[in-house]
Structure 1
Amino acid sequence: MSILKNKIVGVALVGLAASLMATPSMAQEKMRIALDTNPVHVRNKGVEVFVDELKKRTGDRFDITVYPSGQLFRDRDIPRALRQGAVEMGVPGTWQLDSVEPTAALPTLPMFYGVDIPTVYKVLDGEIGDYLNEVFEKRMRVKIPGKWMALGMQHTFGVSDEIDYDTYKGKKIRYPGGTGNAARISKLGGIPVLVPWPDVPLGMSQGVMDGLITTYESASSSKLMDSGMKYAFDDENMFNQYVPMISDAFWKKQPKDVQDAILESWDIAVTWERENALKAQDKARENLINQGLKVIVPSKEQITAARKELMQIQPQLVEEMKIDPEVTNKIYEALKEAGVEY
């Protein structure tokens, strides 16, 4: 081999070695996860479990950053941000998605009002849930890596005055989004006021709302009693869940082993999160009561009566929101078979 060829080969080998010795940070692929709840919220903690599990399986492949408290995007903007490549992952609530895909509103329909958590899981974790995920993936161009996270049972909270079925009329009630949420409030006599979660404490202190629908854990982690919340009405008006979404472009460029690692990591995380979400709700309720929160608990008969009243608006909602009536009826029948009274 000539001296010139030796030099060429030597330069090539040096270049190859340099590329193999590149620092991990140079080779890392960004994975930005946007949440609009704060770091101590159970959803955020569940996502941190997912991140830890994914790092165990993929090492330094990804540069993962979780952006809490709406720093990057609010839940309502996640589908668009994923399509545009502005974020790689989000876990928005179902109630934030019906403007993009009408079937996302199914859990907000009156037929789910006051339905207990085990029954919701039974209906939505099976074939119906798989169908909804397929619809979401196609419509929003995302990958849903597994089961939905739990937030917890959503109730109605009062700021300066008590709220129950007798005092609901005329009250300005904050809701997080979702046509179904607004419709339920209106049917019960309240005035729905749309306020994004990060703006709730300021809105409460400024008198924008007389009450709000949320969960105990969300109210506790955001210290809403410091902003004037004094009452709770345990009307169990909806079981809130979060849908994990990964950018379709990000997902498709990952090799099979990395995709499997993501799915495995999510399964571990969502199992942990679901269990701890319900524990967090119970603990938050206890803590808020200890801080002076007054809780009004309606009877099961009252909740059933409210559900029957709300069912009067369901056919109109399904038509207006362009929800598939066949799927709606299938879920309705599944709920009845599970023992829900209508």
Structure 2
Amino acid sequence: MPIRICLAAVVALLTAVLTAATGSALARPMLLISTENGPDHVQTLIVRRFVDRVRDCCADRIDVDHRFGGELYRDRDVLAALVQGKIGMAVAGTWQLDQVAPDTGAFMLPVFYGRTAEEAALVQDGPAVEAMNGQIEEGLGAIVLGRWIGLGFAHVFTTRTAVADVDDLAGLRIRSPGGVANAWRLAALGAEPVTIAWNDLPRALAEDRVDGLITTFATLDSVPLWTRGVRFALEDRQYFSHYVPLVSD
């Protein structure tokens, strides 16, 4: 089964790691968390809940500062910041992790295309994820704090072009959240993958620099991109996306 750690054990782990980093057990260590999405996104809401629980139980042992909305780092830069010790915690998408832990790209391979959430869960809750966690920890020098966070299926959303099937993606410029597997899959479907930071996407859509994007309904709902031209959806379950909670060692 994937790693599951109770809150008290997480706090003990974080305190030990951060105290070792500061070299002092007298002052409360600071856990600085950076995420990219806005206040209404599921990533932000879940991290806020984690922060509230840590503060409720252990305010005398550890301080927590959560910066969201890309205030500190965008997703493309957050792993480097974690490795360099500029932040203590990140909640990275599996599409960001495939360069340091290639097996995390498994959820984006063709075998998962169009699968059900139950089928994805068979892998998420199985031994394969334990092996992926090992790759992540070795590749980043980080600790996987707990169970991966399921964000849901990623689909294709477009602005001016209605898409009834994957053949309609040919020639379209589709924003990718990043990762080798996303770029390969879009290219194989005939689209042009374009990597744009999430905070820059509304403007890119308004300026017609892309014809659409890969994202989840939860993410689309957190920032009303239909006000920036998104009109159509191809609900094709490109892959089941996850966030991985990580703390620097």
Which bin holds the TM-score, normalised by the shorter protein? 0.7 to 0.9
> For 2:226 and 2:143, how far apart are their aligned partners in 1?
38
What amino acid does structure 1 have at the position aligned with 2:182?
N
Equivalent AA in structure 2 for residue 112 of structure 1: F
- TM-score under structure 2 length normalisation: 0.86
Distance in 1 between residues matched to 2:125 and 2:172, nearest whole Å: 35
Residue aligning to 1:33: 33
The residue number in structure 1 matching 2:96 is 96
Q: Deviations over 1:34-61 (max 9, x none)?
A: 1000011111111111112222332232
Q: Distance in 2 between matches of 1:38 and 1:124?
A: 26
Partner of 1:216: 217
SS at match of 2:50: helix
Q: Report the TM-score, using the length of structure 1 for normalisation.
A: 0.63
> Deviation at 1:99?
2.2
Local SS of the residue matching 1:104: helix
Q: Does 1:192 align with 2:193?
A: yes
Cα distance in 2, alignment partners of residues 114 and 100 from structure 1: 26
**Aligned 1:245-284 pairs, distance under 5 A:** 245-248=246-249
- Cα RMSD for the two superposed structures: 1.4
Q: Which blocks of at least 5 consecutive residues in structure 1 are unaligned?
A: 1-25, 249-342
Indicate the SS of the match to 1:243: strand
Cα shift at 1:124: 2.2
Paired position in structure 2 for 1:58: 58
CA contact (8 A) 1:163 1:233 kept: yes
Structure number, greater radius of gyration: 1
Q: Deviations over 1:108-148 (max 9, x none)?
A: 11111111112111112221111110111111100101111
CA distance in 2, matches of 1:41, 1:229: 18
Report SS of the residue matched to 2:235.
strand
Question: What residue in structure 2 maps to residue 203 of structure 1?
Answer: 204
Letter in 2 for 1:219: L
In structure 1, what residue type is equivalent to 2:160?
Answer: S
**Is 1:44 matched with 2:44?**
yes
Q: 4+ residue stretches of structure 1 with deviation over 3 A? A: none
1:188-208 deviation per Cα after TM superposition (whole angstroms, max 9, x unaligned): 111111112111111100111
Distance 2:125 2:88 in 1: 24
What is the distance in 2 between the residues matched to 1:155 and 1:183?
A: 15
- Which protein is richer in strand relative to its size? 2
Higher relative contact order (CA 8 A, sep 6+): 2
Report how many residues are paired. 223
